[in-house]
Amino acid sequence: MTPWLGLVVLLGSWSLGDWGAEACTCSPSHPQDSFCNSDIVIRARVVGKKLVKEGPFGTLVYTIKQMKMYRGFTKMPHVQYIHTEASESLCGVKLEVNKYQYLLTGRIYDGKVYTGLCNFVERWDQLTISQRKGLNYRYHLGCNCKIKSCYYLPCFVSSKNECLWTDMLSNFGYPGYQSKHYACIRQKGGYCSWYRGWAPPDKSVINATDP
């Protein structure tokens, strides 16, 4: 078993690709959770790829040009290669060469960066302005907060460090408005709440459960 197979269980995240890809099943995760749970978060362009004999169906190794790093400075300040399963049924992710810039998240195993469909992987031009702001300076402010998923009503927060995530209840499906436009940030008094806007976070004007 290659290191990425363990990631399928350990890191379920919003991702690029087909949620119904055969055996690959990913639990929805807010982009902030994906950011906070990743060893590496970067913006990069794919400049090459090759298939290596590793794992049951091989491993795709993407050569990338790193444009900017958002997380992972102390672990691997410059990433040159991204590894993923060659098969989408094992959550391997397909990236276009010399076409787009991507937001890539992943985990480090044995000095290599691994990613896949259960990670937050998206074309940079498909991210919202709020998501880009989150990557730059908001998401890391909420890594001590907990985003609690709500699949069925009623749902409640059970502690002051929780934000209730209700995208899965929306008629528009997932990813939804909270995923695209909000970050869960610790406010005054130690409470965590959804935040969107230009001004500094302020608990007095933000409800802890309703973005």
Q: Among all chains, which residue has been given the structure tokens 């790193």?
A: 66
Query: What is the C-alpha separation between 141 and 187, in angstroms, rounded?
Result: 10
Of 174, 140, 15, 179, the residue nearest 84 (C-alpha):
15
Whether 29 contacts 146, CB under 8 Å? no
Enter the tokens of residue 47: 């400049």
Q: Binding residue per annotation — 163?
A: no
Cα gap 148→93, rounded to integer Å = 27
CA distance 200 to 196: 10
Peptide bond into 175 cis (omega under 30): yes
Q: Which residues contact 183 (CB under 8 A, 6 or more apart)?
A: 32, 130, 134, 138, 139, 141, 142, 194, 195, 196
27: CB partners within 8 A, 6+ apart: 12, 118
Residue holding tokens 């350990």? Answer: 10
Which amino acids are annotated as binding site, given as ranges?
A: 24
Q: Which residue ranges make up the annotated binding site for Zn(2+)?
A: 24
